[in-house]
Amino acid sequence: MATVGLTEPEARERHEKITIYKTDFTPMRHALSSHGVTTAMKLVCAGPEQRVVGIHLIGDNVDEMLQGFAVAVKMGATKADFDSTIAIHPVSAEELVTMKEPQPDTAMHHGIDSGIEWKEAG
């Protein structure tokens, strides 16, 4: 598990408009295995410019993956900055720069940043 920045509840307390992007998938290296590991990712974006204020990951090697994205969050990167980044393929980290559809706007998206199992919260 790896996390940087605000959780969704923290972001909702501090910002008026929050947009959430989530994905879960089986990484390519586990795709043919019956014991495949699932990876889950969540971007928490704030404001009309969708500044990325939190990233939350569960899965293999996500701690290593998050280091570069932590720099982007600290520098104030926006979702548009992530979208304009050329994804490294084929690696799980590319999912963070290829998520396109925000989650429906609800009061709270339970998930990996709130300590609730993301599969059960779906």
> From CA 6, how far away is CA 93, in angstroms rounded?
19
18-25 and 2-5: which strand pairing?
unpaired
For residue 40, the cross-strand partners are 24, 58
Eight-state DSSP code of residue 37: P
Q: What is the pLDDT of residues 74-89, one digit of tens each?
A: 999 999 999 998 777 6
Domains of the chain: 2-104 (3.30.390.30)
For residue 111, the model assigns a pLDDT of: 56
Kindly report the pTM of this predicted structure.
0.77
For residue 112, the model assigns a pLDDT of: 57
Q: Is 56 a catalytic residue?
A: no
The torsion angles phi and psi of 79, rounded to 5 degrees, stand at -60, -35
Which one of 30, 35, 89, 110 is the catalytic residue?
89
Q: Is pLDDT larger for residue 57 or for residue 122?
A: 57
pLDDT band at 108 (very low <50, low <70, confident <90, very high): low
Q: What is the pLDDT of residues 8-67, one digit of tens each?
A: 999 999 999 999 999 988 776 666 667 777 889 999 999 999 999 999 999 888 888 898
For residue 49, the model assigns a pLDDT of: 97
Tell me if 58 sits within 8 A of 34, measured CB to CB.
Answer: no
> From CA 67, how far away is CA 118, in angstroms rounded?
22
